[in-house]
């Protein structure tokens, strides 16, 4: 994200122009440093991401009790988007990964394709989001987009046909401790922030493969917030009896497995609200950590800029991407020799 968005933003906001995009007359702006088209792109992209990503988990039976990673008692909402069924994990992870890849290419030239307030925070910290007002407006647009996406899911899936029972909202499985999920969210978001280009979608896929059994995988606070908010009014809706799972590869929970007692939803609310802090603090910490590591790497690589000679190992271009100008120049120099 950091590598890709820096090049995208500098093309749109050239050095010395702060964050004034090309073609001011073509873009309505209510703040000096805010692009409305970027905000609208984040809004639409986030709505589509929640609709497709969470919808993939809602339509297939394989999470919660039936997935072997959810709650064992019907009155609790813990772990309803978690699963230990390999096919379910692979399918949902692929949908999330491919969705973020497609949407990043669709809106990346307008907003950088953040689609995640944790990503926006990381880019603000590194100075690659143009200006703080743009980051704040992107955040607001993402939140509204997440709510719209969850609303669309309410229209698509009747309550009794939502296999996650929660519009795909994240919650920690009762077999996992809160700190397991917190560290998983930090590292998953770190991975997301640390890669570039098409690897963004691959990183989302990889993170979901690891985190779905633990907490359904968020690594995106805005993706978690919309479904959790919209599912409140569906909690008391009558649900028809769900068919029993009959899947190859379903993991049966052994009688020797000790399940930690779960707090009743009647006492502290649904699990996806009790655990919501994890899906905010974890991704925001992970993104901040990735931004810090990126800054350190740039600082350590500064001496390379002072030695543009290819033989000395520095080309004066940051970052050095495969097939980039630095390596092409180096190849030309060697061929001429």
- For 30-54, what is each residue's pLDDT tens digit? 567 788 999 999 999 999 999 999 9
% of residues, the chain, pLDDT over 70:
68
What is the DSSP code string of 185-216? Answer: HHHHHHHHHH--TTHHHHHHHHHHHHHHHHHS
Q: What is the DSSP letter of 259?
A: P
- Is residue 159 within 8 A of residue 242, CB to CB? The reply is no
CA distances from 322 to 108, 116, 327, 328 (A): 20, 26, 7, 9
- Exposure on the CB side of residue 169, measured as CA atoms within 13 A: 29
- The pTM for the full model equals 0.75
**Distance between alpha carbon 301 and the CA centroid of its chain, in Å?**
29
From the options 3.40.50.2000, 1.10.3720.10, 3.30.300.210, 1.20.1080.10, give the CATH code of 1-12+31-62+84-235+271-300: 1.20.1080.10
pLDDT for position 80 = 86
- What pLDDT score does 321 carry? 40
- Residues 216 and 213: their CA atoms lie apart, in Å, by 6
The whole-angstrom separation of Cα 168 and Cα 53 is: 9
Spatial distance between the Cα atoms of 141 and 30, rounded to a whole number of angstroms: 14
Inform me whether the pLDDT recorded for 320 exceeds 70. no
How high is the pLDDT of residue 26? 43
pLDDT of residue 236: 56
Question: Do 16 and 207 meet the contact criterion of CB atoms below 8 Å apart?
Answer: no
Average pLDDT over residues 237-252: 48
Domain boundaries, the chain: 1-12+31-62+84-235+271-300
Say which residue, 289 or 320, is predicted with more confidence.
289
| pLDDT exceeds 50 at position 335 | no
pLDDT category of residue 7 using cuts at 50, 70 and 90:
low
Confidence label for 82 from pLDDT (cuts 50, 70 and 90): very high
**What is the structure's pLDDT at 78?**
83
> Between residues 271 and 73, which one has the greater pLDDT?
271
Bond into 67 cis (ω within 30)? no
For residues 163 and 306, what is the distance between their CA atoms, to the nearest angstrom?
58
More confident residue, 22 or 158: 158
Average pLDDT over residues 280-287: 96
pLDDT at 180 over 70: yes
Four-CA torsion 220, 221, 227, 228, nearest 10 degrees? 140
Instruction: Judge whether residue 275 has pLDDT over 70.
Output: yes
**pLDDT of 110 over the 70 cut:** yes
Average pLDDT estimate for 9-16: 51
Q: What would the mean pLDDT of 83-105 be, rounded to a whole number?
A: 94
129 within 8 A of 135, measured Cβ to Cβ:
yes
Rg over CA atoms, the chain: 22
The Cα angle at residue 113 between residues 56 and 156, in degrees rounded to 5: 25
Alpha helices in the chain (DSSP H): 2-12, 36-58, 86-111, 117-126, 132-156, 178-194, 199-215, 221-230, 265-268, 271-274, 278-300, 302-305, 325-336
Q: Is pLDDT above 50 for 22?
A: no
Render pLDDT for 126-168 as a digit per residue (tens, 0 to 9). Answer: 888 767 888 999 999 999 999 999 999 999 999 889 999 899 9
Whether the predicted pLDDT of 325 surpasses 70:
no
CA–centroid distance for 179 within its chain: 19
């Amino acid at each position: 994200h950091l590598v890709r968005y820096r090049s995208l933003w500098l093309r749109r906001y050239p050095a010395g122009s702060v964050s004034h995009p090309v073609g001011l007359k073509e873009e309505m702006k209510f703040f000096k440093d805010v692009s409305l088209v970027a905000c609208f792109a984040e809004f639409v992209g986030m709505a589509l991401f929640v609709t497709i990503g969470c919808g993939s988990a809602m339509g297939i039976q394989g999470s919660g009790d039936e997935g072997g990673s959810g709650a064992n008692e019907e009155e609790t909402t813990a772990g309803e988007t978690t699963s230990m069924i390999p096919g379910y994990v692979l399918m949902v992870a692929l949908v999330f990964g491919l969705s973020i890849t497609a949407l990043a290419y669709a809106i990346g030239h307008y907003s950088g394709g953040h689609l995640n307030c944790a990503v926006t925070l990381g880019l603000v910290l590194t100075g690659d989001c143009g200006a703080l007002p743009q980051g704040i407006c992107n955040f607001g647009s993402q939140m509204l987009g997440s709510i719209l996406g969850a609303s669309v899911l309410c229209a698509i899936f009747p309550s009794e046909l939502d296999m996650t029972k929660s519009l795909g909202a994240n919650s920690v499985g009762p077999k996992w401790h809160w700190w397991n999920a917190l560290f998983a969210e930090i590292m998953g978001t770190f991975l997301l922030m640390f890669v570039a280009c098409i690897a963004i979608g691959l990183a989302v896929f990889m993170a979901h493969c690891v985190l779905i059994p633990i907490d359904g995988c968020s690594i995106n606070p805005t993706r978690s917030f919309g479904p959790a908010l919209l599912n409140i009014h569906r909690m008391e809706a009558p649900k028809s009896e769900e068919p029993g799972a009959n899947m190859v590869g379903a993991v049966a929970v052994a009688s020797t497995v000790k399940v930690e007692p779960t707090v009743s939803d009647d006492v502290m609310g649904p699990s996806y609200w009790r655990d919501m802090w994890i899906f905010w603090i974890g991704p925001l910490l992970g993104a901040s950590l990735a931004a810090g590591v990126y800054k350190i790497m740039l600082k350590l690589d500064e001496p390379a800029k002072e030695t543009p000679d290819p033989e000395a190992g520095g080309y004066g271009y940051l970052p050095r991407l495969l097939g980039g100008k630095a390596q092409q120049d180096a190849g030309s120099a060697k061929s001429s020799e």
